[in-house]
Amino acid sequence: MTAQTLLRRATGLSVSRTVAERAVGQRMEQTGFTDSAAYLQALTPAEMTQLIELVVVPESWLFRDPQAFYATVELVQERWARGRATRILSIPCAGGEEPYSMAMALRDGGVPKQAFSIDAYDLSPGCIERAQAGIYGRNAFRAQDVAFRERYFTHVADDAYRIIDALREQVTFRQGNLLQFDTATYSRHYDVIFCRNLLIYFDKPTTRAAIANLSALLADDGMLLAGYAEVPSFCQNGFAPLQFRQAFALKKDTAPPAAAIQLAPLSPLPALRGVPPAPRRVAAPVAPAAVRTRPVSVPSSPPAPAAPADLLAEARLLADRGQLREAGEKCHAHLARVPEAAEAYFMLGIINELAGKMDLADDYWRRCIYLQPDHYEALCHLALLAGRNGNHTAAVTLKARAARIYQRRQATN
C-alpha cells in the first residue's frame, strides 16, 4: 500500500501524494531508514502516529468565527433556565483554541459551570498535548479584540500565555478520530457539537461518513456548528440551517413528509423577470443577553455596507439576455460589498442552472437558504433539482419547507 493510501485510510484526509511522500521522507530521515518500501513495511502504530502528525492541519485560533460561541451561550442559558445542563463536543479541537473559547464565552455570559460540560477531541496526540498545556503564542490571539487575554490568561514567557486553571479544568481533552468515534455509547449524547474546518479536508464519501457520525452523536434537538464552507455538505446530508447570523449553525432536519402539502406552482425562472425584488436580509444577530451586556468580552462583526441594489438588477438583465458570465460577475461584485446577500446567491444559482452547471447551482441555492432560510424560490429550485437527481427524500423535505413558507405568506398577506 502507498503512503498516500495508508494516510488517507488512517485519517480520512484527502492527503495528496506529494504531501504523503514528503512526510515519509521526513520520518525516514528522523528514523534512519533509507528505503521507503522498508520504512512502510516496518510501520508500527506509534510510527504511524508520527507520520499523521506531519499531514494534519492544526490551524486554529481563539474566538475564531465568534458568532458560533455567542449562539451557544444563548442556547446554554435557555436550557439552564429550564434546569437542563448542556453537553458540548468540540471535534476537532486542534490545540484547544475552540473549546477554551467556548469556556471563556460561557464565563463571560455568567453561565455557572454546572450548566455545561465540554469534551474536546482531536486526531493528533500532539494537538491534545498542547491543548492540555493550554499555552498559546501570538498566532492564537488573532481575533480583533483580545481583551479576553487579560481576563483568562497569565503571561508565562515572552510570547506565551497560559489559560487559567479554572477554565482549563472545564474542558476534557482526548485523542480521537471522528471517523471511528464510539457512536453507540455516545448516541445522541451531545446537545451542541462544534465540527468546524475538518470536512473541507475530506472527500465526499468521507464527508458523508463523518456527518453520519456527528448526526448519531447529536441529540435530536441539538445544534451543530460548522465552518462556513461546510454548511452545504451538512445540508445535503440531513441537516438544515438555523438562523443565527454568521454562526453557521445547523440542526437535524426533521421536516415532516409533505404528502398532504401542495407546493405552490413555480413559474420558470420567476426571479429573472421584471423588477427585482428588494434584497431580503437575514434577521439581525441574536447576541446572547449576557454577552450583549459585556461589550468587551468578544469581538462582533462590523455592520454590512449599504446594498448596491442596481448591481443585482443589472445581473438580472444580463442573465435575461443570456450574458451569463457578465451576470455572474455582477453578482460577485455585489457579494464583495454585501457578503450576506442571499438574493445574489439565488441569482448565481439561476445563472449556473442556465449554464447547465447543476452542482454549482445547487451549492449557490444552499448558500442562499443558509443566509435566508425562508427564501421560497431557492427552496423550490432545490426541491426540483433534488427530485431530478433522484433524491426524493430531500425533494419532499424541501417542498414541505417551501410549502410552509408559502402558506405563511398567504396567511400574512
Ligand X SMILES: C[S@@+](CC[C@H](N)C(=O)[O-])C[C@H]1O[C@@H](n2cnc3c(N)ncnc32)[C@H](O)[C@@H]1O
Q: Which is nearer to ligand X, 90 or 372 (CB)?
A: 90
Which amino acid would we find at residue 191?
Answer: D
Return the residue matching grid coordinates 498545556. Answer: 133
| Residues touching ligand X, count (CB under 6 A) | 24
> How far is residue 328's CA from residue 353's CA, in Å, rounded to a whole number?
12
Q: Which is nearer to ligand X, 92 or 276 (CB)?
A: 92
**Cα–chain center distance at 297:** 23
Instruction: List, in order, residues 6 or more apart from 119 with CB less than 8 Å away.
Output: 87, 88, 89, 90, 171, 172, 174, 190
- Closest contact distance (angstroms) between CB of 297 and ligand X is 19
Residue from the set 23, 75, 178, 315 that interacts with ligand X by CB under 6 A: 178
Neighbours of 81 (CB within 10 A): 9
- Closest contact distance (angstroms) between CB of 75 and ligand X is 18
Rg (CA), the chain: 23
Whether the CB-CB separation of 383 and 395 falls below 8 Å is answered with yes
Strands 116-122 and 86-90: parallel
Kindly state whether residue 177 participates in binding ligand X, applying the rule CB under 6 A.
Answer: yes
Helix (H, G, I), strand (E, B) or coil at 364: helix
Q: What is the dihedral of CA 109, 96, 340, 343, to 10 degrees?
A: -120
Q: Which is nearer to ligand X, 95 or 222 (CB)?
A: 95
Q: Which is nearer to ligand X, 151 or 174 (CB)?
A: 174
What is the per-residue binding string for ligand X in 229-258, x denoting contact by CB under 6 A?
A: ------------------------------
- Closest contact distance (angstroms) between CB of 127 and ligand X is 5
Which amino acid would we find at residue 376?
Answer: Y
Q: Which is nearer to ligand X, 14 or 391 (CB)?
A: 14
What is the per-residue binding string for ligand X in 103-142, x denoting contact by CB under 6 A?
A: -------------------xxx--x---------------
DSSP conformation letters of 69-87? HHHHHHHHHHHHHTT--EE
For ligand X, which stretch binds (CB under 6 A), given 28-36, 59-67, 234-242, 366-374? 59-67
Question: Strands, E, within 182-318: which ranges?
Answer: 190-195, 218-226, 239-241, 249-252
Applying the rule CB under 6 A, the residues between 64 and 93 that interact with ligand X are: 64, 91-92
Q: Which is nearer to ligand X, 68 or 403 (CB)?
A: 68
> How far is residue 128's CA from residue 133's CA, in Å, rounded to a whole number?
9
What is the per-residue binding string for ligand X in 185-224, x denoting contact by CB under 6 A?
A: -----------xxx--------------------------
Applying the rule CB under 6 A, the residues between 337 and 366 that interact with ligand X are: none
For ligand X, which stretch binds (CB under 6 A), given 30-38, 68-76, 149-157, 177-185? 177-185
Residue from the set 43, 49, 58, 301 that interacts with ligand X by CB under 6 A: 58
**Cα–chain center distance at 151:** 28
Applying the rule CB under 6 A, the residues between 6 and 35 that interact with ligand X are: 11-13
> How far is residue 204's CA from residue 312's CA, in Å, rounded to a whole number?
33
Residue from the set 3, 23, 24, 56 that interacts with ligand X by CB under 6 A: 56
Residue from the set 6, 8, 79, 98 that interacts with ligand X by CB under 6 A: 98
Residue from the set 94, 135, 217, 315 that interacts with ligand X by CB under 6 A: 94
> How far is residue 198's CA from residue 308's CA, in Å, rounded to a whole number?
34
Q: What angle do CA 106, 148, 92 make, to 5 degrees?
A: 60
Return residues touching ligand X (CB under 6 A).
11-13, 56-60, 64, 91-92, 94, 97-98, 122-124, 127, 177-179, 196-198
